[in-house]
Amino acid sequence: MTTTDHSGDVRLTGIGKTYGSFTAVHPLDLTVPQGSFFALLGASGCGKTTTLRMIAGLEEPSCGTVHLGDQDVTHLPPYKRPVNTVFQSYALFPHLDIFENVAFGLRRRGVKSVKKQVEEMLELVQLGEQARKKPHQLSGGQQQRVAVARALINHPKVLLLDEPLGALDLKLRRQMQLELKRIQTEVGITFIHVTHDQEEAMTMADTVAVMNAGRVEQLGAPTDLYENPQTTFVANFLGTSNLIEAEVDTRNGDDVVLKAGGGKLVLPAARCSAPAAAGGKVLVGVRPEKIALTHADDAGAIPEGRNRLTGRIADASFIGVSTQYVIDSPVCDELAVYVQNVERDGRLVPGADVVLHWNPAHTFGLDAAQDIDAGVETVEEEAA
């Protein structure tokens, strides 16, 4: 398989789905290149599963087309599409043993000798011993692997995974994430993975599409999405962001200078997704781990050219690898700061006055017309 082979590309053109007056998916365009690990990330009800089901053929799109390579599959029934799905509930056939579950797809396509292939596939997912057991006799993790084997044995052009790790406990989930990534690299098939777990999407996928309310908010590599979010939803849904309301002051070469509270903040113009006309409002964003904390007494030691804010520590929680501070600042009441526990300053306790400072290159700018809290609550819900 070479990079010029596009037979495994998935191309969605203007595809949308409405149920009566409810729009589950707004018409969207999306291209998933052959051999990539692609994640659709979003909270429940954002339309990611519906999008996946339209690719599988289990849901008829209200508009638009689905192409696999050069083939238009929009109106093909699922059993005629070279696509297989791993369902969230696994959907293993309870009346068949593991061997027959895995052999199901081959047998339906009239393959005569399935024994060797099935045994090899069961070896790949390390379930060779369990071939004659029924699904209910296996653990959740094992059932999950059977579901993957049952889909992969058909060598689909695209493998669709609908929250496949949702029912597993945290430790097993981490293990299966690596396992799935390994399998994907090994077989080179295009994987489209639907998940609400942002960490899962970021660790596994090459490209992530963040969906919200039936629309793709932003699409890109995990680092790109994290470092340079373009909407408040993405900024809050992927990790945590500090968003500060600011006003554009001047434009200084490639930088935009902003006024926030009494101070000035510098933002690279290239990292600002909002129109930066003088006098306009912008949301300034910075990730908590990019910020350094210095006690107010040592403020003079902070190098020039860094963005600074002052504040007072409202809360500090020690979590081993780092300490998470909540800072009360005149420009924003709850700034999150994560500091690695390398050299701990004993004076940084709740009540202490501090200076927050960071490299301006880590600042991003967002359109202030958006809801500043978009995507925040959803994260808390999922974490609960």
Partner 1 sequence: MPVVTWLKRRLVVIAGLLTLAYLLLPNVIVTVFSFNKPKGRFNYQWQQFSTSAWKDPCGVAGMCGSLSVSLQIAVWATLGATLLGTMIAFALVRYRFRARGAINSLIFLPMAMPEVVMAASLLTLFLNMGAQLGFLTILIAHIMFCLSFVVTAVKARVMSMDPRLEEAARDLYAGPVQTFLRVTLPIAAPGIAAGALLSFALSFDDFIITNFNAGSTVTFPMFVWGSAQRGTPVQINVIGTAMFLVAVLFVLTSMVIGNRRNKKA
Interface with partner 1 (CB under 8 A): 56-58, 77-79, 83-85, 87, 89, 91-95, 97, 104-105, 108-109, 132-134, 137, 150-151, 154
Q: Which is nearer to partner 1, 135 or 222 (CB)?
A: 135
Smallest separation, CB 170 to partner 1 (Å): 24
CA atoms within 13 A on the CB side of 106: 21
CA atoms within 13 A on the CB side of 382: 21
In the bound complex, what is the minimum distance in angstroms from residue 35's beta carbon to partner 1? 21
Which residue lies nearer to partner 1 by CB, 92 or 283? 92
Q: What is the CA radius of gyration of the chain?
A: 25
Which pair of structure tokens corresponds to residue 69? 């390579």
Phi, psi torsion values for 304, nearest 5 degrees: -70, 160
Residue among 164 and 311 whose Cβ is closer to partner 1:
164
CB-wise, 104 or 364, nearer to partner 1?
A: 104
Question: How would DSSP label each residue in 212-273?
Answer: ETTEEEEEE-HHHHHHS--SHHHHHHSS--EEEEEEEEEEETTEEEEEETTEEEEEEGGGB-
Report, in Å, the least distance between residue 145 CB and partner 1.
Answer: 15
CB of 43 to partner 1, least distance (A): 21
Give me the helix-helix angle, 98-108 and 140-152, nearest 10°. 20
Report residue 281 as tokens: 């409002």
If the CB atoms of residues 155 and 281 are measured against partner 1, the closer one turns out to be 155
Q: Which is nearer to partner 1, 162 or 179 (CB)?
A: 162
CB of 58 to partner 1, least distance (A): 5
Provide the minimum distance between the beta carbon of 24 and partner 1 in the complex, in angstroms, as a whole number.
17
